[in-house]
Structure 1
Amino acid sequence: MTTLSLSLLVISASAKSNDYLDNIVKVIEPKTSQTAIVVSALGSEERTKSAADNEYRKDAERLFIPASTMKLLTAVAATTSLGRNFRFNTQIDAFVGIQNSRIEGDLFIRFDGDPTLTVSDLRQLFKQLHKQGLKHIDGNVYLVGDQQETLQAPGWVWDDLGICYAAPVSRYILNQNCVKAKLSPTLANNQSKLSLSQFEPVSITNTAVFDKVGDIPFCELSLQRQSNNQFLLSGCHTGQKPLKLAIAISDPALYAKNTVTNMLANLGITIKGKVLLTSKRPANTLLLAEHESKPLSELTDTMLLKSDNLIADSLLKRLGQQIYGVPGSFVNGSAAMKQILTDLGVELDSANIVDGSGLSRYNLLSAEQLSQVLLLIKQHKDLNFLIEQLPVAGYSGTLEYRSGYTTSPLKGAVLAKTGSMMGVANLAGFIKEGGELTKAFVVLENGHSPAVKKNELSPFNVLFLQSMVQP
């Protein structure tokens, strides 16, 4: 973009007419990617009395990959169907209570798909039983979950699957189904040392090296996922500083089974039988201990602020269970979300929804559809709290350090959900001026080449939004 072109962005205007914005877009629109925009005025009757003066639309009906802006739909659907006070509930029960330091028969751990359940939470449940005197289980320990569930949605990119932001979505979740490790260089040579907790029931074979002087032409790490939560780490890493790794497990049920087996042994609780997996939920059992997640209103806060994919897709699956009365899945969860939002007045006939996180490249939404969701959030008092959970430019979440949003005029003036992946740069949210929300906006960009991104003076969404908030 030329200096002359940039100067057009700071032209003052008493009203941002469609002609004004059309001219701005012509100057800043990238030549190599596709874009769509919807801007709607909010607030007083004075600002909304004329739709022509207070609304801007460009390719509003065209379908785009939404990436994490999909989480706006998930937040609205989950709040509407499950309620703000919904909690995931992990329970331990048996047919009889603890007598003479033992349980006669089997013990059941009902995993509930809680995306925030940790190994520490599960240990606290067993410690409750231990304090009640439990030392021996006469039968088996059954981990109750869904043995046939799909762990990833269609359209998830294969090379994302070993990374924790694409961890498998299951009824069995512990520590976000993610293993933390550290890769460190050795002093004597270019070999590396991999360290992780000795209690992690995974196996990682490491052959990676460190390129300390930068003389290897193509240096990158490679993670191969094998069966039974086994991994092979190879390739190289440039530099001499240790590297933190976050590796998504491949088999969450096995991970839970091995974790529980080790935990029982560490707590000194013996079992006559085995730790087994089951889909059966026996009736007429006695509740012995339980752990509840934080309420939905706090889960959506993390989901929107940090763009947490596991929370989003766990909620999606729960929607399928809630609406259809069967084990939740990506398929029935997506259908449920579409039904809920359609009933609320969002027109989704052309949309394609396959997950709740936006990780899938099969998702398709228009700027108009996302705009309808934003207006729904603004207009319904029961959904207003979601606005306060959006990242704020220059201050919080995924907009805290994003280029173009840490300085005036956008700092503090943009509250929005980001949607980013390879080739995708989306933003959907609100503009806040004078302490009041004045506009809802959606700016979508697909086909955003990394080469173009590297050389651009400023992102398209930054330049457009600057034009919206300039005096």
Structure 2
Amino acid sequence: MAVVGHDRGTRRRALGISVCLCLLALLTGSCTGSFEGSARAEDAPLDPRIQKIMDKPVYRYGQFGLLVVDPATGRTITSLNPERLFVPGSTTKLFTVSTAWDTFGSDHRTTTPVYAQGPVTDGTLDGNLVLVAQGDLTMGGRTKPDGTLDYRPVDHTYADAVPGYATLTPENPLAGLNSLAEQVRSSGITHVNGDVVIDDRLFAPDPALVTDPTPIIINDNLIDILSTPTQPGQQATFTWRPQTARNKVSYHVMTVAKGKPTAITAEVGADGVIAVTGTLAADAKPWLVTAPVTDPAAFARTAFIEALDRAGVSVAATPTGPDPAPPAKAPSGDPVARLVSAPFSQEATLILKVSHNLGADLLVCLLAVQRGSRDCEDGFASIKAFNDKVGVDPAQASQADGQGGVDGDAFTPRAFIPLLKYWTTTPEAAQFREALPILGSSGDLALVGTDSPAKGKVFAKTGTRAAGNSLTGQVLVTARAMAGYLDTGDGRYLPFVVVFNDALVDSTDGVLSIAADIAQISALLQEDNTAASASGAASASR
């Protein structure tokens, strides 16, 4: 888990591993801490069970922050270092997604049009087909029959960050392009005597956003390779998607004995050949790795030409050629095909549930576009405006990307509270809350707290940053955090934040252990506040 950094202007940004590590109910690790900050005299003391977790040796040199607030009264219920800046990891996405949700609205949909440039005679288009990319995050590739977006607890975008845990959704990642192609055929076009163009001018590349969002995205700009073991000494079997003529797979993964190490890598050569090598234990589950799509526009062009061919529309141009320059003047008039996205609330749910880094950075660019700019950096002005609107103290918030993976991201626990309180006052309160991962139930918290009394009652965005330590070979867990709501069972949803920074662990399991500890602290906060609510209600009834 290495940190990769680069400079842009005067800002230093580094790529962290903002991973949705939620997986195993492994409970080891913690830190020392004392109850301090803005806690008031009437606040309940820190639960000894929480203090016991925090006193674990692994947390000795790090720091915790805790905050629970009653949104109705503003009273601080639990507080520890509430106004100290912490590395937030992917809890940063709360600010990005909230701004976009508030700006675009929960029902907003993106329409991706395809235009025919030229006359159509006897089914032949004498000109080009132009797909104008609009920043649709999924392009129909995750849409279920009911119109919602599909996801898994560990998304395929984390296949390489969390080896062995990621799984695929069953939907066809080319479904949106297939739909567009069928619409082109239904419009009467059977042959394109020209080329297919992906017009990706919506916003400019932004090297400071390390996930490299692009206006056209197919399958999260990834190729999935799924390996299945056979017998020791034999080559494993594999499937890959999405398959286009732009890529081939050179596969050399050997099945080894049960219990032996599994290690598979995928690298894309200049010729588009994906070299997949390694070993796979005979008792391993199907193992997913990914390779990047190196030229998203050219990839989408090839995939669209092939979709057109499947729909009965031939194209004169070579499918594997480069994406041609878009027309000088943006296409206008009636498109021959349209792909309408899922509502924004679904895209927000996907981003929050699985901690979708590319999607969160994409929102920064789309916010810039909404402001009339092609420069993604202008999207931060919208985030700042939202923070001002809800009352976030600018002295307690620093944000330099959309997803929480760079060094410019830092927030105090207190900074989250105005945002979380804001959503409790809106008609979308329940929708926003349920878009978050839910302890023991959904998103990247689905596999944690499944036996906890707090299962289904902690709604929280998670965040993790981890980096390699070349000095000792360990992993530095820069951050593990959760921020969201505690359901106290009396109709109240208390905003809360739990964050820890800086511990050294020996392996990925140690990172997962810290994630489980933070989840356990959140569960204990929920239990304590539920008990307090019940006690208060009982006293009031006497």
User: For residues 226 and 446 of structure 1, do their structure 2 counterparts lie closer, same or farther at Cα, with a shift above 3 Å needed?
Assistant: farther
Contact residue 95 and residue 286 of structure 1 kept, 8 A:
no
User: For residues 457 and 76 of structure 1, do their structure 2 counterparts lie closer, same or farther at Cα, with a shift above 3 Å needed?
Assistant: closer
SS at match of 2:336: strand
What is residue 204 of structure 1 aligned with on the other side? Answer: 249
Q: What does the per-residue CA deviation read over 1:125-167, in whole Å, with 9 as the maximum and x for residues that have no partner? A: 121221233122233322100398437655x5xxxxxxxxx6x
1:263 matched to 2:315? The reply is no
Separation (CA, whole Å) in 1 of partners of 2:87 and 2:243: 40
Contact residue 205 and residue 232 of structure 1 kept, 8 A:
yes
Q: What does the per-residue CA deviation read over 1:66-85, in whole Å, with 9 as the maximum and x for residues that have no partner? A: 22212211221012212222
Gaps of 5+ in 2: 1-29, 31-39, 142-173, 467-476, 532-542
What is residue 24 of structure 2 aligned with on the other side? Answer: none
Q: What does the per-residue CA deviation read over 1:367-425, in whole Å, with 9 as the maximum and x for residues that have no partner? A: 111222111222344555312322222222222221xx223432232121122343232
Contact residue 116 and residue 175 of structure 1 kept, 8 A:
yes
Larger % of helix: which? 1
How far apart are 1:321 and its partner, in Å?
A: 0.9
How far apart are 1:65 and its partner, in Å?
A: 2.4
User: For residues 187 and 265 of structure 1, do their structure 2 counterparts lie closer, same or farther at Cα, with a shift above 3 Å needed?
Assistant: same
Equivalent in 520, 523, 530 of residue 462 of structure 1:
520
1:172 matched to 2:244? The reply is no
How far apart are 1:175 and its partner, in Å?
A: 2.5
Contact residue 134 and residue 202 of structure 2 kept, 8 A:
no
Equivalent in 365, 376, 399 of residue 411 of structure 2:
365
Separation (CA, whole Å) in 1 of partners of 2:317 and 2:440: 55
Separation (CA, whole Å) in 2 of partners of 1:114 and 1:16: 50
1:250 matched to 2:294? The reply is yes
What is residue 170 of structure 2 aligned with on the other side? Answer: none
1:21 matched to 2:50? The reply is no
Return the TM-score normalized by structure 2. 0.71
User: For residues 227 and 401 of structure 1, do their structure 2 counterparts lie closer, same or farther at Cα, with a shift above 3 Å needed?
Assistant: same
Q: Report the more deviating stretch, 136-145 or 443-452.
A: 443-452
User: For residues 229 and 340 of structure 1, do their structure 2 counterparts lie closer, same or farther at Cα, with a shift above 3 Å needed?
Assistant: farther
Separation (CA, whole Å) in 1 of partners of 2:481 and 2:432: 18
Contact residue 306 and residue 398 of structure 1 kept, 8 A:
yes
Q: How many residues align?
A: 434
Separation (CA, whole Å) in 1 of partners of 2:301 and 2:199: 10
How far apart are 1:283 and its partner, in Å?
A: 4.2
**Correspondence list, 1:268-417, <5 A:** 268-273=312-317, 276-280=323-327, 282-323=330-371, 325-327=372-374, 329=376, 331-382=377-428, 385-402=431-448, 405-417=449-461
What is residue 176 of structure 2 aligned with on the other side? Answer: 121
SS at match of 2:364: helix
What is residue 282 of structure 2 aligned with on the other side? Answer: 239
SS at match of 2:220: helix
Equivalent in 421, 439, 443 of residue 498 of structure 2:
443
Equivalent in 84, 91, 94 of residue 69 of structure 1:
91
Separation (CA, whole Å) in 2 of partners of 1:208 and 1:232: 10
How far apart are 1:122 and its partner, in Å?
A: 1.3
How far apart are 1:60 and its partner, in Å?
A: 2.0
Separation (CA, whole Å) in 2 of partners of 1:288 and 1:215: 54
Q: What does the per-residue CA deviation read over 1:241-295, in whole Å, with 9 as the maximum and x for residues that have no partner? A: 4633241423212211221232334444333456633355524444211111011
Q: Report the more deviating stretch, 268-277 or 83-92.
A: 268-277
User: For residues 278 and 66 of structure 1, do their structure 2 counterparts lie closer, same or farther at Cα, with a shift above 3 Å needed?
Assistant: farther
Contact residue 66 and residue 80 of structure 2 kept, 8 A:
yes
Separation (CA, whole Å) in 2 of partners of 1:457 and 1:173: 30
Please tell me the residue identity of whatever aligns with 2:455. Answer: K
Contact residue 203 and residue 369 of structure 2 kept, 8 A:
no
How far apart are 1:431 and its partner, in Å?
A: 1.1
Equivalent in 128, 131, 134 of residue 109 of structure 1:
131
What is residue 38 of structure 1 aligned with on the other side? Answer: 67
SS at match of 1:287: coil
User: For residues 390 and 199 of structure 1, do their structure 2 counterparts lie closer, same or farther at Cα, with a shift above 3 Å needed?
Assistant: closer
1:81 matched to 2:108? The reply is no
Q: What does the per-residue CA deviation read over 1:26-79, in whole Å, with 9 as the maximum and x for residues that have no partner? A: 543232322111210134xxxx27x3xx44332223222222212211221012
Please tell me the residue identity of whatever aligns with 1:278. Answer: A
Separation (CA, whole Å) in 2 of partners of 1:461 and 1:141: 49
Please tell me the residue identity of whatever aligns with 1:436. Answer: G
Separation (CA, whole Å) in 2 of partners of 1:230 and 1:39: 52
Contact residue 391 and residue 400 of structure 1 kept, 8 A:
yes
What is residue 159 of structure 1 aligned with on the other side? Answer: none
Separation (CA, whole Å) in 1 of partners of 2:127 and 2:64: 62
User: For residues 58 and 212 of structure 1, do their structure 2 counterparts lie closer, same or farther at Cα, with a shift above 3 Å needed?
Assistant: same
Root-mean-square deviation (Å) = 3.2
Separation (CA, whole Å) in 2 of partners of 1:112 and 1:120: 17
Separation (CA, whole Å) in 2 of partners of 1:113 and 1:266: 25
Separation (CA, whole Å) in 1 of partners of 2:207 and 2:228: 31
SS at match of 2:397: coil
Please tell me the residue identity of whatever aligns with 2:277. Answer: S
How far apart are 1:191 and its partner, in Å?
A: 3.4
Please tell me the residue identity of whatever aligns with 1:307. Answer: S
Separation (CA, whole Å) in 1 of partners of 2:512 and 2:360: 30
The percentage of counterpart residues that share the same residue type is: 23
Separation (CA, whole Å) in 1 of partners of 2:420 and 2:259: 47
What is residue 138 of structure 1 aligned with on the other side? Answer: 193
Please tell me the residue identity of whatever aligns with 2:434. Answer: E
Please tell me the residue identity of whatever aligns with 1:196. Answer: W
How far apart are 1:24 and its partner, in Å?
A: 6.6
Equivalent in 485, 488, 491 of residue 430 of structure 1:
485
Separation (CA, whole Å) in 1 of partners of 2:260 and 2:273: 31
Contact residue 231 and residue 255 of structure 2 kept, 8 A:
no
Separation (CA, whole Å) in 2 of partners of 1:442 and 1:385: 20
Separation (CA, whole Å) in 1 of partners of 2:486 and 2:354: 20
Contact residue 210 and residue 239 of structure 1 kept, 8 A:
yes
Separation (CA, whole Å) in 1 of partners of 2:397 and 2:242: 46
